[in-house]
Structure 1
Amino acid sequence: MSHRFLAGALLALGMACAQAQSFSFGLWGDMPYQKAGDDPKIPALLKSINQSDIAFSIYDGDIKDGSSKCTEDIYASALAMFGELKKPVVYVPGDNEWTDCHRLNNGGYDALERLDYLRKTMFPTTRSLGKRSMALAHQASLGEKFVENTRFAHQGIVFATLNVPGSNNNKILDEKDCTQKSARTAAQCEASNAEYLERDAANVRWMQEAFSQAKAGKARGLALVIQADPGFDLPETEGIDESQAPGVSGYRNFISKLITETEQFAGQVLLVHGDTHFFKVDKPLYSPTRLLANLTRLQTFGSPLIHWVRVSVEAKNPNVFTVQPVIVKQ
């Protein structure tokens, strides 16, 4: 099934590249958090998105806060929220709805069981969510591992979403990390690390295929959307290489492969993530003193900042992507 979707997406990309023109899309995530009292603010947010000129939006994970239970109504509420959007919306999984569900204050679930439930619930069809949906290529068939990784092309730009969540990408560092404030057993932690390795390899393949598709279609830009802040080293932390911290080790392989692909791509790469909850646009790679010029990182708003980001793709703009925060008045 996924191969048929991929073939269709490649054809669509070729047509789109021949007819490239300007458009805009939206980015949002890490909301609503009940603990922060976000629910009353969501209608204004959805109204703002619905009244905009965007072609579609992408939600970069965390449909609830990290200290509430992973009950089935949480997923149903998120689907209802996405169903209020007039334009297509693509959902990306976050750590709060599966990786962290092992926590005692989350209900002490088996995180891998919650991931399986998420895959079967949050991806009910091969199309996007929203009142008006659009076709998506998926890495797997409905209900199967990695169905959540999607890809599509729009007006000559390739978009890929990947299940790269917070909490170190579900990589567990040691026994203390396994059991702290958690209902996990040693066997569950071992299974989680095996899951991390398998999914990380799948994510790298999906990302590499997105670059291949972009190159084949001579796309001017590629947007990759994940949930986790992968721990880039920041200029304001001079002397401390945050990218090498143990707590972000689960992202190093993916980022390394991303760098390699970006170096070999002639267009612009926009890497989008949430997780840290404050708006930021920068060029964090390779380091504070060495630039990977064609990669831009966009970090979206998150609770309690209930806003979204509008990105414009302009046909004649050499930077391809223009980022604009949209502040929602409450």
Structure 2
Amino acid sequence: MNIARPLLALLVSATLLPDAVAGSFSFGLWGDMPYEKNNDAQTTAAVIRSIDRSDVAFSIFDGDIKDGSSACTDEVFSRTAKTFNAMKAPMVYVPGDNEWTDCHRKNNGGWNNLERLDTLRKLMFADGRSFGRRKLTLEHQDAPFVENTRFHKGGIVFSQVNVAGSNNNRVLDEKECSTKSARSAADCEADNAEYAARNAAVNRWIEESFAQARQRKAKGLVLTLQADPGFDLPETEELDEAKTRGWNRPESGYKDLMDTVIRETRAFDGQVLFVHGDTHVFKLDKPLHAPLDLLPNFTRLQTFGSPNNHWVHVTVNTRRPEVFTVRPVMIKAD
């Protein structure tokens, strides 16, 4: 009996299986780099080389292409786009606060931060594709919110939204408006109008992403944004956990976001991986809601950031109940 031919056919057929059937691929997560004030150029280059040498199908950068005390020039965008486009695999960009929300600060050059957002949209989302030498075709939300993107791979929905640090561009009072800032009262009114419109658009985009995931019977959904909405609890037993989380405070610019994410996660049978940067410390946990009311299918992944410039490798295997396996990749500059 000749078993070589059927064995060879089996190996070939396994190799040719599409992602949705094979159920396994990997992607990378990184962000909050390079910061010029931390002399990050070498370590950021080492992160990129490591990602390029890895097996990832693509990577996602979760915001902050510069530090928060440097000028918000067009050159920062063009230089970053060139770096991203030189990467081997597709690279999906998510905006951070340092490249638009905080640009009104005097140490950032005192720009109009809404003009910086318009420029970011024009320069970083010029067409319907990702960055990288190989590119992904992305679905974009209607203008002006073109930075909210989405794509699908291997039974997983990937959704990226512009939710930035510094309270998501929501201005609370006159003092916050003017402190270390070049803004006028009219500028801050415009910021709050921008926040309200984008906040509504982001929540619609997230709802649509979950609807697509349910329709496709997706095993998982990855939601990526820049801001840390306030997952971590103060270590004080007397405080009510549900009220002291950052997004539950009345002044939070993230309450609507988290209410939507929680509601949609409860209505989704698959796993949700919530990815953010902003705090620069790697964390992987299940922070929702309270110990007696855990959302078992929700996992928070907080990525590294300057000066701790490393990246995160995620393996997707839709045949495993947890779907996502996360591994931090520690980098030393060559």
TM, length-normalised to structure 1: 0.91
Q: Using the alignment, how far apart are the partners of 1:71 and 1:234 within structure 2?
A: 36
1:1-16 correspondence runs (5 A): none
1:139 maps onto 2:141 in alignment? yes
Consecutive unaligned residues of structure 2, counting only runs of 5 or more, are 1-16
Q: Which amino acid aligns with 2:188?
A: C
User: Which of 65, 73, 76 is residue 74 of structure 1 equivalent to?
Assistant: 76
> Following TM superposition, where does structure 1 have runs of at least 4 consecutive aligned residues deviating by more than 6 angstroms?
none
Distance 2:50 2:81 in 1: 18
Q: Which residue of 2 aligns with 1:252?
A: 255
Distance 1:274 1:35 in 2: 18
**Distance of aligned partners of 1:28 and 1:204 in 2 relative to their CA distance in 1, 3 Å threshold:** same
From the superposition, tell whether residues 319 and 72 of structure 1 become closer, same or farther in structure 2 (CA, over 3 Å). Answer: same
Number of the residue aligned with 2:304: 301
Distance 2:332 2:297 in 1: 34
Q: Which residue of 1 aligns with 2:130?
A: 128
2:331 corresponding residue in structure 1? 328
Per-residue CA deviations over 1:46-79 (Å, capped at 9, x if unaligned) read: 1100000000000000000001110111111211
Secondary structure class of the residue paired with 2:206:
helix
Match of 1:160 in 2: 159
Structure 1 distance, partners of 2:251, 2:230, is 6
Partner of 2:288: 285
**Partner Cα distance (2:216, 2:235) in 1:** 38
How far apart in 1 are the matches of 2:71 and 2:250?
A: 23
Q: How far apart, CA to CA, are the structure 2 residues paired with 1:106 and 1:288? A: 42
Determine if contact 1:16/1:154 at 8 Å carries over to the other structure: no
Q: Which residue of 1 is the match for residue 45 of structure 2?
A: 43
Q: How far does residue 235 in structure 1 lie from its aligned partner after superposition?
A: 6.6
Change (3 A) 1:134 1:62: same
For the residue of structure 2 that corresponds to 1:127, the secondary structure is coil
Deviations 1:163-214 (A, max 9, x none): 0000000000100110010000000100100100100000000000000000
Residues 278-315 of structure 1: per-residue CA shift (max 9 Å, x gap):
10001111135531111000000000011000011113
Moved more, 284-293 or 242-251: 242-251
Indicate conservation of the 8 Å contact 2:172/2:251, yes or no: no
Q: Which of the two has higher C-alpha Rg? A: 2
Conserved? CA contact 2:160–2:223, under 8 Å: yes
Spell out the pairing of 1:107-126 with structure 2 (5 A cutoff): 107-126=109-128
Give the equivalent residue in structure 2 for 1:200. 199
**Larger CA deviation: 18-27 vs 221-230:** 18-27
Q: Which residue of 1 aligns with 2:212?
A: 213
Give the TM-score taking structure 2 as reference length: 0.90
Residues in 2 aligned to 1:138 and 1:237: alpha-carbon distance in whole angstroms:
42
Letter in 1 for 2:57: A
Conserved 8 A contact 1:94-1:227:
yes
Shift of 1:234: 2.6
